[in-house]
Structure 1
Amino acid sequence: MQRQNGLTEMFAQACEQLGMRAFTPNISAWPDVVVLDSKRSLLAVDVVDETIEPRDRTATVSLNRKISNLRDDIPMIADLQMVRRVLMPGSSVSGTVLLGADDVAAGIWLEGWPQVEVSIEALDEVERKLTPALQFAEVPIRAVTDAGADARADRRLVLDSRQADIATRTITDVAILRGPPGSGKTLVLAARARWLAQNNPNWVIQILCFNRLLVPYLRSLVEEKPNVHVSTFGRFARAQGHSLNLSEEAKADADLQKSINRGIVPTLDALLIDEWQDFLPAWTTFAFATLRPHRGGALLAGDRIQALYWDADNDKALAERAVEEIDLTQPYRCTAPILHVAEALDPAYTVTGIDDAPDGEPVDLVWADSPRDQADAVAADVKLLLADDRRLDEIGILVTYKRLVGAVCHALADRDIPYRLVKSSGADDYQHGLPAVTVMTVHSAKGYEFAVVFLVGLEGLPRPDTAENARWGRVGYVGATRARDQLVITYSKDGHYLDRLRALPNHTRRWTWPDDYPEGA
């Protein structure tokens, strides 16, 4: 079996070198490898047991049956010509159908493969069917209060070709994945974990993150892959028999040295880190030390603008590593008005691909006389949204400071609106999608998203005139970009951030509580 897998991998690499897409479906009824190329017909490949005689028709008959199954399961390719190849480990056979390892290396398998134009639609449909690891079974939350929500939701369901390429590429050592909010960094990580697990069921694949509340969501994306594990860094390090400081860079560096002196055992075949900008360099170095070389490598996803806890020198952990930098440029989550508002919060922010973001409703700026009145305005708005058939679980209320939570919860309770207050201490019990409005701090909301977000307390954030204040300023940026379709920002006084947002008349609307609300709201 190992020799069969080796020949399959060898063939897939030969295709990759020629710029072709080679897929290895984990479905026994389909061919072992299916090769796609827009300039040729489809190529179906099977790897047979080396004990089968070259003249035995069993191999070719089996492949014909698999091709028939593939055509039945993917009707769009029923009329496309399917070229056959059978690989035989250890065989010295040479031919256009039956091939040995030397034939693969020599490129003989290309002979007799006709050049035929294949539609992009057919190729995309085949790719979607052959790569279930790159699709997610989540039911998209359908917004009902703005016309473009359905189309935007459809665009978020399946990885695009750029994202799929990243998820399935060979990473020799370390790859850094960067991109604007909502560009699919987390989904690419999860898709890569699933793809690696599907093709390497004996590997140990680890996803790490900083935010405890992000763990249940990440687990939900890979739950059908038992060899993919998800954990915060702290729990992962303790499971390895080590303990690193989780709040101070100098102490974490000292703890790392102690761990190195004791010895760190490589236990992982592939490493994926989400929200990497929140990792201290010592954590990354420790995680690298647990990684077996020449396997799946490490993929680290992050966005420096979303660093809320410290401005650590992440690159320090990359010294002496072979690093590949990858950029995602297409934002899918947020609408263009939401991204324009997020970008306007600080001149230092630049959102890549903002002009390609989907259109949507302007961002609502709601003035209220006090923080308590802000909470009343939010609760009234939620009530109106629910009356307009918006679901409870589509709504997130994010506060910039914990002290604002009480007023928000009290206002929701006064209007009999079901809600749940989510804290990091309850991360293990957190389930997204329950019938209740979610109330949480922006820090806890990292990695999550909602169709509608109410951001409360923006005016209380300090001006970004020092390094520490700049991090607090990013709270507004992170909070705003948790919204997919609609963003409502409440405030009680003018300030640095509100001045900037009011200068965006094409992307914002201004309201006053309670004057602009229906009577009795």
Structure 2
Amino acid sequence: MSRGGRIGMAARSTDTVDVADVVTALNEQLHGCGARAIRLANDSEPSLVLLYPEIGLLAIDIDDSDTGFETQIPFLRLNERVHSLRQTLELDATTPIGRVVLHTRKLLTEPAIGIGGRISISPAQLSDSTWLSQARARPLDEQLVARIRGLLEPTFTFTTVFRAGSHDQGAAERDQLRVTLDAQQAAIAQRRDLDLALVQGPPGSGKTLVLAARARWLASLHPDWRIQFLCFNNALVPYLRSLVADHPNVVVTTMWPYAKEVGVRFSFDDEAANHRALEVAKSKGVRPIADAILLDEAQDFRPSWIAIVMAGLTPGRGGLVMAGDPAQALYGADDALAGLESLGVQHLHLTRPYRSTRNILGAIGAINAQFAVEQLESAPPGEPVELIWAETPAEQARAIAWEIHRMVSSGDRDPGDIAVVIVRYRGTLMHIAPALEAMGIPFTAVVSKDDKKNFDRGANTVKIITPHSAKGHEFPVVFLFALDTVKPFDPSDPESVQRGRAGFVGATRAKDQLVITYTKHNAYLEILSKDEKYVRRWLWPDQYEGAVSDG
């Protein structure tokens, strides 16, 4: 890597190495391997650590003294620092920690291996990562890696009030993976060379958390900057604010207030009017209001919106970093992402899905190639998708209410862990609300504009929600109500494309359990009903012990 080469030349001319440059070089070289270099601020600990799941935990100390690498003095000092590191990480002696000393005043043609596998390197070795082949393999399990990273990099660890009540097998482990950014995510979050970038990845790959982590990282580095966090939907604003609550210089809004502050009279659906309004604002002098901008759900932002966003950005600082997934575009703005190419957007990719289980992604991906996830096997395991047939929409609602009542009364779930996604709310809301009321289940409907503005994700109620309102949110349990109302996916029919994507978005809000109800068969249900790998099928009320239908 060229970055590593520059570090080596600087060290030979000035006899010093900047720890931040070493960390950056290592992360650039190793992010594809799942490894992570982390700088340590405590002088009693090593200069940095390298978390490499396949190799283990390496403590790296930078030695600027004239002591020769043949002596043990630098390693004696490192041993003391490793002891302090163990206390910080709450690790006992059974967890091995490799030891590496980087000698800034020496030039080695290759790594020197000492007692116990200790490694001595010089800046010359930082030009690439081949020196790591000399390290003894002491693999770390994923949970330990996540815990260590959470302790050492709190900026990239998220704890929210929305993760309560999950008791199914494996839920705790899945949650731990979700709230701590992995090496790939953290590397993107703290890139220093981003001016205009688009982060893409499958549902649940952590795109929103990467943006939030970048906002927190930039806010900490530049407390005098204004960091703008933009999203499409009002219902998502409170959640995003909770992710950056400790950083007052991060401002979270939708487009309306942002455009107003830039000085543009904003229209939600009139592209030509937005472009004209922007030109008028520019003629009067647009004043940049943000030093860095993070933009979520970019696939729903129209080209004129992106132009307005960029007009309010101060150039040469934190840049505009967006996150989006074309498969989740719900508002007919497919040209927004395509239009970014002419602006020289840099593409960054997340590959591993964390939110939804393997069964959920496998079942939904099987119904249309557009929804397939490439790294499906890396998704967390979980329960099969439950496919429930009922004779009428009203009976589907009763089945859902019965299932939720059992989950809540058993203590397995809280109401706030559950969402009922209604793809066509005008025909289905009238069924599900009375069914929940009849079972005494508290619920909140999030379907109107007012509902979205006042949406309290933390309320301990079942959420009756549309796919549009659900975007950016996640729930341990999702009931996808009346999938049979979704038209078969036809690329030539915009309505079927939008409804198909709506079903995909709704289903992938589920973290641990997805339950789909239907009455009539359609192309999607034909596939799901034959899926023996990811799906279990049930008949309501025939296969439900103690359930009674009014039909």
Q: Conserved in 2, the CA contact under 8 Å of 1:368 and 1:512? A: yes
Cα distance change, pair 126–495 in 1 and its aligned pair in 2 (3 A): closer
Q: In the alignment, which residue of structure 2 is the partner of 1:513?
A: 540
State yes or no: 1:73 paired with 2:81. no
Q: In the alignment, which residue of structure 1 is the partner of 2:531?
A: 504
State yes or no: 1:432 paired with 2:457. yes
1:269 to 291, 300, 315: 291
1:492 to 516, 519, 522: 519
Q: In the alignment, which residue of structure 2 is the partner of 1:397?
A: 420
Q: Which runs of 5+ in 1 are unaligned?
A: 1-7, 47-64, 86-93, 97-105
1:467 to 494, 498, 511: 494
State yes or no: 1:448 paired with 2:466. no
Query: 1:249: Cα distance to partner?
Result: 3.3
Q: Which letter maps to 2:418?
A: I
Greater CA deviation, 465-474 or 309-318? 309-318
Q: In the alignment, which residue of structure 1 is the partner of 2:11?
A: none
Q: Secondary structure at the match of 1:156?
A: helix
1:258 to 272, 277, 280: 280
State yes or no: 1:226 paired with 2:248. yes
Deviation digits for residues 365-391 of structure 1, max 9, x if unmatched?
111122211111111111111132111
Q: In the alignment, which residue of structure 1 is the partner of 2:48?
A: 35
Q: What CA distance in whole angstroms lies between the structure 2 residues aligned with 1:377 and 1:69? A: 56
Cα distance change, pair 367–74 in 1 and its aligned pair in 2 (3 A): closer
Q: Which letter maps to 2:196?
A: V
Q: In the alignment, which residue of structure 1 is the partner of 2:445?
A: 421
Cα distance change, pair 455–23 in 1 and its aligned pair in 2 (3 A): same
1:323 to 310, 330, 345: 345
What is the TM-score of this pair, normalised by structure 1? 0.81
Q: In the alignment, which residue of structure 2 is the partner of 1:4?
A: none
Q: What CA distance in whole angstroms lies between the structure 2 residues aligned with 1:241 and 1:15? A: 41
Cα distance change, pair 95–337 in 1 and its aligned pair in 2 (3 A): closer
Q: What CA distance in whole angstroms lies between the structure 2 residues aligned with 1:262 and 1:84? A: 56
Q: What CA distance in whole angstroms lies between the structure 2 residues aligned with 1:80 and 1:471? A: 52
Q: What CA distance in whole angstroms lies between the structure 1 residues aligned with 2:398 and 2:43? A: 58
State yes or no: 1:201 paired with 2:209. no
Q: In the alignment, which residue of structure 1 is the partner of 2:114?
A: none
Q: What CA distance in whole angstroms lies between the structure 2 residues aligned with 1:260 and 1:457? A: 48
1:382 to 378, 381, 404: 404
Q: Which runs of 5+ in 2 are unaligned?
A: 1-15, 31-35, 65-79, 107-121, 127-131
Q: Conserved in 2, the CA contact under 8 Å of 1:274 and 1:301? A: yes
Q: What CA distance in whole angstroms lies between the structure 1 residues aligned with 2:91 and 2:303? A: 49
Q: What CA distance in whole angstroms lies between the structure 2 residues aligned with 1:138 and 1:483? A: 17
Greater CA deviation, 472-481 or 423-432? 423-432
Cα distance change, pair 219–225 in 1 and its aligned pair in 2 (3 A): same
Q: Conserved in 2, the CA contact under 8 Å of 1:464 and 1:473? A: yes
Q: In the alignment, which residue of structure 1 is the partner of 2:33?
A: none
Deviation digits for residues 301-326 of structure 1, max 9, x if unmatched?
11100001113312454355342211
Deviation digits for residues 23-49 of structure 1, max 9, x if unmatched?
567x7x668994335797423699xxx
Q: Secondary structure at the match of 1:348?
A: helix
Q: In the alignment, which residue of structure 2 is the partner of 1:298?
A: 320
Greater CA deviation, 188-197 or 343-352? 343-352
Q: What CA distance in whole angstroms lies between the structure 2 residues aligned with 1:193 and 1:519? A: 51
RMSD of aligned residue pairs (Cα, Å): 3.5
Q: In the alignment, which residue of structure 1 is the partner of 2:379?
A: 357
Q: Which letter maps to 2:481?
A: V
Q: Conserved in 1, the CA contact under 8 Å of 2:487 and 2:522? A: no
State yes or no: 1:169 paired with 2:191. yes
Instruction: Count how many residue pairs are aligned between Structure 1 and Structure 2.
Output: 476
Q: Which letter maps to 1:514?
A: P
Percent of pairs identical after alignment?
38
Q: Secondary structure at the match of 1:256?
A: helix
Q: Conserved in 1, the CA contact under 8 Å of 2:467 and 2:505? A: yes
Q: What CA distance in whole angstroms lies between the structure 2 residues aligned with 1:32 and 1:226? A: 31
Deviation digits for residues 102-156 of structure 1, max 9, x if unmatched?
xxxx96999xxx9976966598766443321100123643522x42323222221
